[in-house]
Chains A and B, each alone.
Chain A
Amino acid sequence: MIVFVNEREVAVETGVSLYWIRGVYKMDADICIVNGFMVNKNKTLNSNDRITFIKRGEIPKEEELEALMISRHTPGVHDKVKKACVGIAGLGGLGSNIAIHLARLGVGKLILIDFDVVEPSNLNRQQYFIRDIGQFKTDAIKKQLKEINPFIQVETHNVYIDEDNIEILFKETDIVVEAFDNPVCKAYLVNKVLAEFNETYIVAASGVAGYGSNNTIQTKRIGGRLYLIGDGISEAKENCGLMAPRTALAAAHQSNTVLRIILGELTV
Chain B
Amino acid sequence: MIVNGIERKIEKPVSIANLLALENIDPDKVVVEVGGTIIGKEVFDSHLLNHKDNIEIIAFVGGG
Contacts and interface: CB of A to CB of B under 8 A. Distances in A.
Interface of A: 90, 92-95, 179-184, 186-188, 190-191, 194-195, 204-209, 222-224, 226, 228, 230, 232-237, 242, 247
B31 A183 contact: no
Nearest to A94: B64
A187 B28 contact: yes
A222 B58 contact: yes
10 contacts: A94-B64, A180-B64, A183-B60, A184-B29, A184-B60, A186-B29, A186-B62, A187-B28, A188-B28, A236-B62
A206 B36 contact: no
B30 interface: yes
Contact of A242 (B31, B38, B63): B63
B63 A209 contact: yes
A223 B33 CA distance: 8
A187 B29 contact: yes
B28 A90 contact: no
Given A209-B61, A242-B63, 18 more contacts: A179-B64, A183-B29, A183-B60, A186-B64, A187-B30, A191-B40, A195-B40, A204-B60, A206-B61, A222-B56, A222-B58, A226-B38, A232-B61, A234-B63, A235-B63, A236-B62, A236-B64, A247-B63
A188 B41 CA distance: 9
